[in-house]
Chains A and B, each alone.
Chain A
Amino acid sequence: MIPELGYGAAIVALALALWGAVTAALGARTGRPALLLSAQHAAVGVFVLVTACFALLTYAFLTFDFSVRYVATNTNLGTPFYYRITGVWGALEGSIILWAWMLALYTVIVILRHRVSARAFYPWVLTVMLGVLAFFLLVMTVAAPPFARSSPVPADGRGLNPLLEDTGMITHPVALYLGFTGLTVPFAFALAALITGRVGDAWITLTRRWTIVAWYFLSLGLLIGGWWSYHVLGWGGYWAWDPVENAAFMPWLTATAFLHSVMIQERRRMLKLWNLSLVILTFGLTLFGTFLTRSGVIASVHAFTQGAIGAFFLSFLALVLLTGLGLLAWRWDALHAQGALDSIVSRESAFLLNNVLLVAVTFTVFFGTVFPLLSEVARGVKVSVGAPFFNQVNVPLFLALIFLMGVGPLIAWRRASLDNLRRNFLAPVLVGVVAAAGFFALGVRSAIAVLTLALTVFVAATIAVDFARATRARLRVGERLFPAMRGLLLRHNRRYGGFVVHLGILIIAVGVTGSQAWSVQTETTLRRGESAELAGYRVRFEDLTASEESNHFKVAGAFTVSNGRVLGVLRPAKKFYPQEQSPIAYVDYRLGLNEDIYLVLGDFARDGSQATVKLLVNRLVSWIWIGGLVLTLGALLAILPERRKGA
Chain B
Amino acid sequence: MRPKFIVGGIVIAAALAYMIYAGVTQSAVYFVTPAELRASAVAGKAYRLGGLVVPGSLTWEPRTLDLRFTLGDGTATVAVHHKGTPPDLFGEGRGAVVEGTWSADGYFRAGLILAKHSEEYKAPHDASAAGYRELIRTLQGAGR
Using Cβ atoms and an 8 Å threshold, which residues of chain B touch A360? Answer: 12, 16
- Asked if A581 contacts B118 (CB within 8 A), the reply is yes
Using Cβ atoms and an 8 Å threshold, which residues of chain A touch B62? Answer: 525, 603, 605, 610, 612
- Asked if B31 contacts A384 (CB within 8 A), the reply is yes
Using Cβ atoms and an 8 Å threshold, which residues of chain A touch B20? Answer: 364, 367, 393
Using Cβ atoms and an 8 Å threshold, which residues of chain B touch A84? Answer: none
- Asked if B30 contacts A607 (CB within 8 A), the reply is no
Chain A 522-556 near chain B by CB (<8 Å), digits 1 or 0: 01110000000000000000011111100001010
Residues of A at the B interface (CB closer than 8 Å) are: 73, 76, 154, 156, 158-159, 340-344, 349, 356, 360, 363-364, 367-368, 371-372, 381-386, 388-389, 392-393, 396, 523-525, 543-548, 553, 555, 574, 576, 578-585, 602-603, 605-610, 612, 614
Which B91-144 residues have C-beta < 8 A from chain A?
Answer: 91, 115, 117-118, 121-125, 128-129, 132-133, 135-136, 138-140, 142-143
Q: A525-B62, A525-B65 are in contact. List 20 more A-B contacts (CB 8 A).
A: A158-B121, A340-B1, A341-B5, A344-B1, A383-B30, A388-B27, A389-B24, A389-B27, A392-B23, A392-B26, A544-B142, A548-B136, A553-B129, A553-B133, A574-B88, A578-B132, A579-B123, A581-B89, A608-B138, A608-B139
- Asked if A342 contacts B65 (CB within 8 A), the reply is no
List the 3 closest pairs (A to B, CB-CB), nearest first: A602-B85, A382-B31, A578-B124
User: How many B residues, CB 8 Å from partner?
Assistant: 48
Using Cβ atoms and an 8 Å threshold, which residues of chain B touch A555? Answer: 135, 139
Using Cβ atoms and an 8 Å threshold, which residues of chain B touch A396? Answer: 19
- Asked if A385 contacts B29 (CB within 8 A), the reply is yes
Which B35-53 residues have C-beta < 8 A from chain A?
Answer: 48
- The smallest beta-carbon distance between A506 and chain B, in angstroms, is 24
- Asked if B124 contacts A156 (CB within 8 A), the reply is yes
- Asked if A548 contacts B31 (CB within 8 A), the reply is no
Q: Does B76 contact A (CB under 8 A)?
A: no
- Asked if A154 contacts B16 (CB within 8 A), the reply is no
- Asked if B135 contacts A525 (CB within 8 A), the reply is no
- The smallest beta-carbon distance between A605 and chain B, in angstroms, is 8
Minimum CB distance partner of A584 in chain B: B88
Using Cβ atoms and an 8 Å threshold, which residues of chain B touch A368? Answer: 23
Using Cβ atoms and an 8 Å threshold, which residues of chain B touch A154? Answer: 123
- Asked if B31 contacts A383 (CB within 8 A), the reply is yes
- Asked if A386 contacts B124 (CB within 8 A), the reply is no
Using Cβ atoms and an 8 Å threshold, which residues of chain B touch A612? Answer: 62, 65, 85
Complex: A576 Cα to B129 Cα, angstroms: 9
- Asked if B88 contacts A583 (CB within 8 A), the reply is yes
Using Cβ atoms and an 8 Å threshold, which residues of chain B touch A382? Answer: 30-31
- Asked if B29 contacts A545 (CB within 8 A), the reply is no
Q: With A385-B23, A578-B128, A583-B88 in contact, do A607 and B142 touch (Cβ < 8 Å)?
A: yes
